[in-house]
Amino acid sequence: MRKPIVAGNWKMNKSVGEAVELASGIKIDLADCVNVDVVLCPPFTALKAVGDVISGTVMKLGAQNMHWEKEGAYTGEVCAGMLRDLYCRYVILGHSERRAYFHEPDETINLKVKAAIVGAITPILCVGETLEEREGNKTEQVVSAQVRACLKDVGEGAASIVVAYEPVWAIGTGRTATPEQAQEVHALSRGLLADIFDKKTADSIRIQYGGSMKPGNAKELMSQPDIDGGLIGGAALDAGSFVEIVRAAFHNAASEGN
C-alpha cells in the first residue's frame, strides 16, 4: 500500500513569526500520525525557522520552487543543494501558478524534476487543466502532455516522485472536482506512469489531489483508490483545518491497513 502524503503549500503567505506560530500549532496535534507523510512548504524566508519547529517530528520540510542548475549567476534563485542545507526533503515543481504567472514550460519543469532527484529532494510534480480545457474535453490531452513532458528522460529515482493533480479551475475558487472526476484523472495519470516507466513503478508513485481540498471533502476524495493524499493551499494556512485533513488521511490509511 502507498503511504498517504499531505503537503501544505503556504504560497506567498506568513512572516517568519506567523510561520513559526502556524507550524507550532500543527505540530502539537500531529504527533501520532505516523502513517501519513506530512510536509510543510512555507516561503523561502521561513524555511529555516519552520524546519527548527518541526525537527524531530513526523513532519518534513518542503520548498515551493527551485532552479535546475547546481549554482551560478541566477539572481533570485535557489538550488537543490541550498534547500538540502536547510533539510528540505520535498520541493513543489510546476505548480499552476508558476506555469501561469511566470510562464514556466514543461521543458523547464522537466529540468527541475531531474535536478531535484539528483539533489536527493523529492519533487512534487503538479499537473492539471484549466476550466477552458476541461470544458473543451481536453483534460486527458493536457494532463497526458504535461506528465510525459515533465518526466521525459527521468530514469533512476522515478519511484520517489510525487505527482499532484491540481485542476486549475478548482484552485482557490472554492470549486472542487468530484471524487469521481478526481479519481478519473488520477487513474489516467497512473496509467501514464506505467507507460513511461513500468507498472511496478507506477503503483509505487503517490498521486495527490490539489484543488480546494478541505476538511469537509478530504475523506471522500482520499478514499478513492488512486488518490494518495492532498496538496493543500488555502486550508493549509489554518492549523485546525490542515490537521483535520491529515487526520482524514490517517484514518483512511488505518482502515486500509497501512
Residue type at position 64 = Q
CA distances from 59 to 84, 156, 200, 217 (A): 16, 26, 27, 23
CA distances from 50 to 36, 105, 150, 170 (A): 19, 30, 29, 28
Confirm if 164 and 125 have CB atoms less than 8 A apart: yes
> Catalytic residue at 166?
yes
Residue 128: CA count within 13 A, CB half-sphere? 31
Query: Which of 92, 7, 1, 4 lies closest to 44, judged by CA?
Result: 92
Q: How far apart are CA 79 and CA 154, in angstroms?
A: 19
Any residues with CB less than 8 A from the CB of 130 and at least 6 apart, and which?
142, 168, 169
- Give me 198's grid cell: 513500468
Catalytic residue, chosen from 67, 97, 166, 186, is 166
Q: How far apart are CA 90 and CA 70, in angstroms?
A: 17
Catalytic residue, chosen from 95, 97, 104, 133, is 95
Q: Helices 16-29 and 239-255 sit at what angle, rounded to 10 degrees?
A: 30
Strands 162-165, 59-63: pairing is unpaired
Residue 13: CA count within 13 A, CB half-sphere? 15
SS3 111: helix
- The single-letter DSSP state of residue 56 is T
**Residues taking part in catalysis:** 95, 166
